[in-house]
Amino acid sequence: MLSCIYIITPGHQAMIAFGCTLYPARPHSAIDTPGPGLITSITKQRMAGVARVHTFLFQEGIWVAKGEYIDEAMNRGSLEGETRVTHRTDVWLNEGRMTLRMGGKTVEIENLYRIVPFAEGSDFTSWESVNPALGTLRGHYIIIGEAILSSCTSTDVRYTGTEFLLQESADRYSNRGTLFSSSGKISSWSLILSRKV
């Protein structure tokens, strides 16, 4: 997230795109291997004030997501899942698994996001994910104080999404988002992200 969660239901194949996360560029070395709760000094220097604000975007780890999903007909369901953040030298990965329970049905969804590292001193970056129901999604993220904003569009321009995360504490974020098609709202969601590891 970020945790972009894009779900298509009635009339569409159920799908969640979970975990649109970005991470700052950092040199790869044995002494610069972050763990949960650690922001490296090199990352702090490269990202200035941006890295000091956010834990979710700038640290490897596992986050638990719980909340509510609302479809285009205002039907409500529960969402639960996890996302694992992994930093690599040239790309950051966010692997997510979510469970949607709605109308007596359960849908399990997995997604993988590839995030472009931040340029030195930058407060924004881009990401891409291939989604079986939506096609390829491409988006941008920007850090504004304790908020993370995201917007995306499918490459065929049929779908657009937007999302907001607000850091409530070092181990907790509030997440809100929505997905639209040319005919209107497809879904919206409200989640709490809590750091597990």
Q: Is 22 domain-assigned?
A: no
The total number of structural domains that make up the chain: 1
C-beta separation of 18 from 3 below 8 A = yes
Q: Tokens in use for 111? A: 């997604």
- Domain hosting 96: range is 30-195
The pLDDT assigned to 44 comes to 43
Q: Does residue 4 belong to any structural domain of this protein?
A: no
Domain membership of residue 133 (yes or no) is: yes
- Record the tokens describing residue 125, joined without a space: 């970056």
Residue 105 lies in a domain: yes
Given a contact cutoff of 8 angstroms between Cβ atoms, the answer to whether 118 and 48 are in contact is no
- Integer CA distances (angstroms), 101 to 5, 34, 64, 75, 165, in order: 14, 35, 16, 11, 23
pLDDT value at residue 59: 81
How far are the Cα atoms of 15, 56, 136 from residue 37, in angstroms, in the given order? Answer: 31, 10, 32
pLDDT tens for residues 94-146?
A: 888 999 999 999 998 888 888 887 778 889 999 999 887 888 999 998 999 88
More confident residue, 8 or 96: 96
Alpha carbons 18 and 15: distance in angstroms, whole number: 9
Give the number of other CB atoms < 10 A from CB of residue 40: 20
* pLDDT top residue among 189 and 94: 189
SS (H, E, C) 95-141: EEEEEEEECCEEEEEEEEEEECCECCCCCEEEEEEEECCCEEEEEEE
Q: Give CA angle at 134 (61, 109), nearest 5°.
A: 45
% of the chain with per-residue pLDDT over 90 = 47
Kindly state whether residue 23 falls inside one of the protein's structural domains.
Answer: no
Q: What CATH number does residue 190 fall under?
A: 2.40.128.20
